[in-house]
Structure 1
Amino acid sequence: MSLLSLEDVRTDIGQYAVLHCISLEVPEGGVFVLLGRNGAGKTTTLRSIMGLWRPKAGAIRFQGEVISGLHTAEIARKGIAYVPENMGIFGGLTVEENLVLATEKGKFDPDRLARIYGLFPALEQFWTKQAWSLSGGQKQMLAVARAIVEPRALILIDEPTKGLAPSIVAAMAEAFRDIARTTTILLVEQNFHFAKSLGRDMAVIEDGRVVHSGTMAGFAADAELQNRLLGLAT
C-alpha cells in the first residue's frame, strides 16, 4: 500500500481547473520528486494534499485513510508537514520561538533537537536571533527544521533550493538524505541536478496531469524524455 495516493483529483482555483483528474502513488520511504514546468500544477498538488486548497473531485489517501476534505490542522496532526516555497517562517520571532510554535506541546524532545543541530548547525549558532536576520539558506534550514521538530511520516517540500548558493544546496541535499532515512519526502524541485541526486521515484506533471512516472534512475538516464517533458537540453 502506498503511503500517499491521489486518485483522479481535480482542484479548481476560482473558475480555473488547475489539476485535471491527477493520480499519483507515493511509496513509503525515500524521496519522491514531482517535476514539471512552471505552472504545471506542482504547488497546487502539494497544497491540495495539505488541505489548503480543497479538491473538487477525487480522493487523497494517506496511510489508507481519505484525508481530502479535512482541515489543514487535522491533516497535519495525522503526520504530514509542509514546507512551502515562501518557507512560512515568522520573521519577527527568534529561531527558538519559530521551532517552539511547531512543537505539539510547546517543548522540545532533546533527541530531536540534537538531530536538528546536527543537520543545521547554523540554527544552534543563531538560536536567539530573529528569523528575519538570517540568510536565505538559513531561513530554508529553519523552515525544514520546523517540519521535523515533531515526528512526521511525510514532509511536502516546495522548491527548497530556489535562490540558494551552491554550497547551501549541497548541505541541504545531505540533510534531506538523512531525513529521508526515517521520513518520506515529497519534493517539488526545478533544480534537476538536485532532484536526481535525491529522488528514488518521480513523476512529471504537465497541465495538471501526470504524464510520466517511474524511477528517478530511469528518467535521469533518458535525455530525450527529459528534453520532451521538461525542456532540459541534452
Structure 2
Amino acid sequence: MSLLSLNSMKTNIGQYAVLHDVTLEVPEGGVFVLLGRNGAGKTTTLRSIMGLWQPSPGSVLFKGQDITAMHTADIARLDIAFVPENMGVFGGLTVEENLILATAKGRFDPARLKRIYELFPALETFWTKQAWALSGGQKQMLAVARAIIEPRALILIDEPTKGLAPAIVDAMADAFREIAQNTTILLVEQNFEFAKSLGRDMAVIDDGRIAHSGTMADFAADTALQDRLLSLSA
C-alpha cells in the first residue's frame, strides 16, 4: 500500500480549474519528486494534500485513511509536515521560539534537537537570533528543522532551493538524504540537478494532470522525455 494516494483529484481556485485529474501513488521511504513547469500545478497539489485548498471531486488517502475533507490542523497531527515555498518562519521570533512552536508539548526531545544541530549547524549558532535576521539559506534550514522537530511519516517540501547559493543547495541535499532514511519526502523542485540527485521515484505534472511517472533513474536517462515535459534544453 502506498503511503500517500491521490485519486482523480481536482482543485479549483476561484473560477479557475488548476488540477484536472491528478492521480499519484507515493510509496513509503525515500524522496519522491514532483516536477513540472511554472504554473503546472505543483504547489496546488501540495496545498490540496494539506487541506489548504479543498479538492473536489477526488480523494487524498494517507496510510489508507481518507483525509480529503479534513482540516489542515488535523492533517498535520497525522505526522505530515509542510514546508511551503515562502518558508513560513516567524520573523519576530528567535530560532528557538520558532522550533518550540512546532513541538507537540512545547519542549524539545534532546535527541531530535541534537540531530537538527548536526544537520544544520547554523541553527545552533544563531539559536537566540530573530528569524528575520537570518539569511535566505538559514531561513530555509529553520523551515525544514521545524518540519522534523517531531517524528514525521511524510514531509511535503515546496521549492527548497529557490534563490539559494550553490553551497547551501549542496548542504540541503545532504540533509534531505539523511532525513529520507526515516521519513518520506514529497519534494516539489524545479532545479533538476538537485531533484535528480535525491529522487528515487518521480512524476511530472503538466497543465494540472500527471503527464509521466516512474523512477528517477529512468527519467534522468531519457533526455528527449525531459525536454518534452520540462523544456530543460531551453
Using structure 2 for the length normalisation, give the TM-score. 0.99
Partner of 2:82: 82
Q: Secondary structure at the match of 1:57?
A: coil
Q: Secondary structure at the match of 1:161?
A: coil
Give the distance between the partners of 2:68 and 2:94, measured in 1 at CA: 34
Partner of 2:33: 33
Give the distance between the partners of 2:106 and 2:188, measured in 1 at CA: 30
Partner of 1:220: 220
List per-residue Cα deviations over 1:135-180 (Å, max 9, x = no partner).
0000000000000000000000000000000000000000000000
Partner of 2:22: 22
Partner of 2:115: 115
Give the distance between the partners of 1:91 and 1:212, measured in 2 at CA: 39
State how many pairs are aligned. Answer: 234
Partner of 2:200: 200
Give the distance between the partners of 1:123 and 1:232, measured in 2 at CA: 35
Give the distance between the partners of 1:141 and 1:54, measured in 2 at CA: 29
Deviation, structure 1 residue 21: 1.4
Q: Secondary structure at the match of 2:58?
A: strand
Q: Which runs of 5+ in 1 are unaligned?
A: none
Partner of 1:163: 163
Deviation, structure 1 residue 233: 1.2
What amino acid does structure 1 have at the position aligned with 2:233? Answer: A
Partner of 1:9: 9
Give the distance between the partners of 1:98 and 1:215, measured in 2 at CA: 36
Give the distance between the partners of 2:38 and 2:203, measured in 1 at CA: 15
Give the distance between the partners of 1:180 and 1:79, measured in 2 at CA: 15
TM superposition outliers: structure 1 runs of 4+ over 3 Å: none
RMSD over equivalenced CA pairs, Å: 0.6
What amino acid does structure 1 have at the position aligned with 2:206? Answer: E
Give the distance between the partners of 2:94 and 2:51, measured in 1 at CA: 28
Give the distance between the partners of 1:233 and 1:10, measured in 2 at CA: 30
What amino acid does structure 2 have at the position aligned with 1:48? Answer: S
